[in-house]
């Protein structure tokens, strides 16, 4: 659910959804994801099972929603949704994605591959949406919607893959240094050269 869609929700619906999310956060800490049930979630949130199912089809959908919200909060906290494209914003996004992916590796709530797939799908989708928004005004892509879409896809895949590699490979440099190293790679996906553009850091 997008922020705009969430804003349109009836206040009572928003309140119930928040109670479910709070119950989920608490129960994951207490029981782990595999150990909690929809009945547990409903009881902790003070609702019945039918009400839970009116919001989420199952606990996996709730986990997916939880990942979506958590990553969006990280993006919003750096004000990346409200800014124009600048190379320093792309660098900040590298840092945010690396930190989030690294954190997700340390807080697996189910089998690693299942959780990793949910994180990857959510994070890549949001990276793609953000970069797509940014590149709409780039002179080299402004009048080329197909090229622009492919550039955003390439950059989102590259950024997520690089973040995975940074998180898993203990021989990687510190995050600040790593972000500087990969910035030209991501810029190239967008048809930009760091040293030859007004967006340079």
Above pLDDT 90, what percent of the chain?
A: 63
What CATH class does 3-56 carry? Answer: mainly alpha
Q: How confident is the model at residue 201 (pLDDT cuts 50, 70, 90)?
A: very low
Where are the CATH 1.10.357 domain residues in the chain? Answer: 61-196
Question: What pTM was computed for the model?
Answer: 0.82
State the residue for tokens 């019945």.
48
Q: What is the pLDDT of residues 73-109, one digit of tens each?
A: 999 999 998 777 889 999 999 999 999 999 887 765 5
Q: Are 124 and 152 in contact (CB under 8 A)?
A: no
Q: Are 123 and 160 in contact (CB under 8 A)?
A: yes
Q: CA 170, CA 178: separation in Å to the nearest integer?
A: 12
Q: CA 48, CA 52: separation in Å to the nearest integer?
A: 7
Q: Is residue 62 predicted with pLDDT exceeding 90?
A: yes
Where are the CATH 1.10.10.60 domain residues in the chain? Answer: 3-56
* φ/ψ of residue 78, rounded to 5: -95, 5
Q: Are 175 and 95 in contact (CB under 8 A)?
A: yes
What CATH class does 61-196 carry? Answer: mainly alpha
Read off the tokens for 16. Answer: 């119930």
């Amino acid at each position: 659910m997008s922020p705009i869609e969430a804003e349109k929700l009836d206040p009572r619906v928003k309140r119930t959804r928040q109670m479910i999310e709070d119950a989920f956060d608490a129960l994951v800490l207490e029981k782990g994801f595999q150990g909690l049930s929809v009945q547990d979630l409903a009881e902790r949130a003070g609702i019945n099972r039918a009400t839970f199912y009116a919001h989420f089809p199952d606990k996996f959908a709730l986990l997916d929603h939880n990942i979506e919200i958590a990553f969006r909060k990280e993006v919003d906290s750096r004000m990346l949704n409200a800014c124009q494209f600048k190379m320093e914003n792309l660098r900040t996004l590298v840092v945010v994605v690396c930190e989030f992916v690294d954190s997700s590796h340390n807080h697996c709530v189910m089998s690693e591959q299942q959780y990793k797939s949910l994180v990857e799908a959510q994070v890549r989708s949001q990276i793609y949406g953000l970069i797509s928004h940014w590149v709409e005004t780039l002179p080299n892509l402004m009048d080329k919607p197909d090229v622009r879409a492919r550039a955003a896809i390439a950059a989102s895949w590259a950024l997520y893959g690089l973040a995975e590699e940074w998180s898993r490979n203990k021989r990687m440099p510190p995050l600040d240094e790593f972000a500087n190293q990969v910035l030209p790679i991501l810029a190239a996906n967008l048809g930009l050269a760091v040293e030859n553009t007004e967006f340079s850091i």
